[in-house]
Structure 1
């Protein structure tokens, strides 16, 4: 097993991101998100009883999972993959390919870890972290690391959203959000206890359903425990985006009350 120098890896990450404008709140958000995901991967791996070497590797995969976000924002001024390119694929390019043209900083996987023995596993954990489903052909060990990165990412996305305004995340004001309704496909996903696919989100309210559905697909028991302990899922249920006013439409309001009740019951048994 390859030894990982966390101090060196963290310094390499900081060197890379220092070339981007941390005064930009979206850059600052992704830097903070990265550290939180790495620590979540560490915490879950420890609770699941992984070896010290695998705990370090889980932490590193978490640290590297969103490396493509910084170039995505620089090139396209968006975090939306549909309006740019897959940030996961871009992360693989940044770490395992040539430096993108015009990039303010260069880095490679060798800046983070000398031995290439785990390169394919690390590459997979980055490439597939935001996919709706993992490829079926992954070997068991690679799947474990992909799962832990995906869990850590979901856990911290809930924190990020709970700390943000609806305007920041969805580019709509509170009144518009509260006037939106739940689409049938998004509600079907909730009732099936699974994540909501991108093409199943039609209205602003669907985004909220998608967020709380993250809980259903956390793979590791330690991930579910960590999410409950951190409490961001409860903040999303009680005051999504910090909004305490109810949905405008009575039917939408009633549906949201049902979803909250069912999610709380599910969390109690998760």
Structure 2
């Protein structure tokens, strides 16, 4: 990949998303939200990538994946008015279909095209498929985009919870009710150091816990450093209702984070 390729992709992306601008204020708000999200994920990706001291060419490849990782979100929201894949369609697979249909990546070598498409397809899975070689390039770039994406969603969530009722966006809360307590399967996954499942969510408290559970799928030291620097996790945790169960969960999260900060991080082999 060359610089002119990345420049072309950036220009194409903004021309593409302009197609979805709408006079409907709610639709426009969420289209703009995803454009801003994409910009920040690109920034996060480069911060993490540079901390891993990968080459300039690999940084451009990582930024291209970040640029296109949520491409399917625009058509998804314009068509279904939701970001919930289970009630519309898988936005990652939709993004891959759009990239193939539009022929956006035609200028790249086949190996790079396949890597970008697979990284986009896998970025929202519960885990990277087992057939992806852990020491290979694809695995590295998958972990990179997954970390960069999570950081920004946690940023948006923490800002929303800090404001609470002032600026609640029902699309980001997946239209779930503001009910008491937590769903047992969500709590169980967290206490076993696993990411919670979207299908187990029943209310807004579950959404908060699900987002907090993403710390169990953080891969790079730079990601943990960013989370600590901006305090996103602490802000979300402070928005949880006061209860004995909440205290148990907070202690569990804090213990896990302390373990990670003291050297218990996952491996992070470079491509």
Both proteins in one fold, TM over 0.5: yes
122, 125, 139: which one aligns with 2:116: 122
Q: Alpha carbon RMSD of aligned pairs, Å?
A: 2.1
Tell me, yes or no, if structure 1 residue 143 matches structure 2 residue 139. Answer: yes
Change (3 A) 1:225 1:11: same
Determine the C-alpha separation between the residues in 1 that align with 2:56 and 2:234: 32
Deviations 1:59-96 (A, max 9, x none): 11011100000011122121111111110111001101
* Cα displacement string for residues 21-78 of structure 1 (whole angstroms, at most 9, x for unaligned residues): 1751111111111111111111111111212211111111011100000011122121
Aligned partners of 1:237, 1:110: CA distance in 2, in Å? Answer: 41
1:172: how far off?
Answer: 6.5
Query: What are the ranges of 5 or more consecutive residues in structure 1 without an aligned counterpart?
Result: 98-106, 241-245, 248-252
Match of 2:43 in 1: 39
1:135 aligned counterpart, secondary structure: coil
1:43-82 matches, within 5 Å, as: 43-82=47-86
**C-alpha separation in 1, matches of 2:131 and 2:104:** 24
Q: Where does residue 223 of structure 1 map in the other structure?
A: 223
Matching of residues 51-200 of structure 1 within 5 Å = 51-97=55-101, 107-110=102-105, 114-139=108-133, 140-164=136-160, 165=164, 168=170, 169-170=172-173, 177=178, 179-200=179-200
Shift of 1:190: 0.9
Aligned counterparts of 2:131 and 2:251: Cα–Cα separation in 1: 37
Name the residue aligned to 2:247.
257
Q: Partners of 1:42 and 1:117 in 2: how far apart?
A: 21
**Cα distance in 2, alignment partners of residues 73 and 205 from structure 1:** 24
User: Which runs of 5 or more structure 2 residues have no equivalent in the other structure?
Assistant: 261-271
C-alpha contact (below 8 Å) 2:84/2:174 kept by paired residues: no
Q: TM-score scaled to structure 2, two decimals?
A: 0.83
Instruction: Return the TM-score normalized by structure 1.
Output: 0.83
After TM superposition, give the deviation of residue 167 of structure 1 in Å.
5.4
Q: Is the 8 A contact 2:9 2:104 kept in 1?
A: no
With over 3 angstroms needed to count, the CA separation of the structure-2 counterparts of 1:150 and 1:171, relative to structure 1, is closer
Q: Secondary structure at the match of 1:130?
A: coil
Asked if the contact 2:72/2:95 (under 8 Å) is kept, the reply is yes
Q: State the shift of 1:171 in Å.
A: 6.2
Match of 1:163, SS state, is helix
> After superposition, what is the alpha-carbon deviation per residue over 1:148-197, rounded to whole angstroms, capped at 9, x for unaligned?
11111111111111222555333669xx63x4211221111111112101
User: CA separation in 1, counterparts of 2:84 and 2:65?
Assistant: 22
Residues 147, 219 of structure 1: 8 Å contact kept: yes
- For the Cα contact (< 8 Å) 1:42–1:58, is it kept in 2? yes
**8 A contact 1:181–1:204 mirrored in 2:** no
Given that 1:34 and 1:63 are in contact with CA atoms closer than 8 Å, whether structure 2 keeps it comes out as: yes
Per the alignment, do residues 184 and 49 of structure 1 end up closer, same or farther by CA in structure 2, a change over 3 Å counting?
same
